[in-house]
Amino acid sequence: VPGDRPTIGGDVRDQVRAMCDLMVLAFQCDLTRVITYMLGNAGSNRVYNFLGIGDGHHQISHHQGNAANISQLTTIDIWEIEQLAYLLERMKSVQEGESNLLDNSLVFFSSEIEDGNSHSHYNLPVILAGRGGGVINTGRHVIYNDDPPIANLFISMLQTVGVQLSAFGLEGTGPLANLTL
C-alpha cells in the first residue's frame, strides 16, 4: 500500500537537492534509464526569497531592459546552474566500470525561450552534459549558424542510445552536425 502523498511546500533548495539525489539513485540502481525533471514551468512566478529576490521569476523575466531585473535574473540563473552542477557532480561520483554515471549519460538542460522579455524561441540556452557512453564530443561551445530546430538535438541524443530515426516532432529533420565524435 503506498504511503501518503508528500505535502507540497518546504524550501525549494531542499526539494531540488532531494530530487537530484533521487535521480542519481534511480540511475545508480538501474531503476530507469530516462528521467525528466522540470524545476518549474515558465508561468509559475516562483519567488526566490532565499536569494534576496522578493518578486516572482516570471514577473521579472519581463525585464524591459531594467538593470535591476536583469541582475535578479542573473542571480536566479546562477543558482539554477549551481543546482545543475550539483547533479552533474553527484553523477560523476558514481563509478560504473571504467567510467562513471555522468560519462555514460546525457543530461539536457535548457529553457524554452531565449529571453523572457521578448519570448524569443531562437538561440536557446542549452547545456548538454555527459558523454553518452563516449559518443558525444564534450568540452565545447557549439554555435549553429543555420538555426536548426531543437528537435534535431533530440534526434542526435536518441541516436546515441541506438534509436535510429530521421525526424522528430513537427520540425526535426535530422541529427545535428559536429555533436558526436
pLDDT value, residue 115 = 86
Average pLDDT, the chain: 92
pLDDT band, residue 2 (cuts 50/70/90): confident
Predicted confidence band of residue 118 (pLDDT cuts 50, 70, 90): confident
Above 80 in pLDDT, residue 7? no
CA-based radius of gyration for the chain: 18
Indicate if the pLDDT at residue 9 is higher than 80: no
User: For residue 119, what pLDDT is reported?
Assistant: 85
- The DSSP string of 13-67 is HHHHHHHHHHHHHHHHTTS-S-----S--TT---EEGGGTEEEEHHHHHS-TT-H
Smallest CA-to-CA distance from 175 within 161, 133, 110 is with 161
Q: What is the pLDDT of residue 123?
A: 83
Task: Indicate whether 29 pLDDT > 90.
Answer: yes
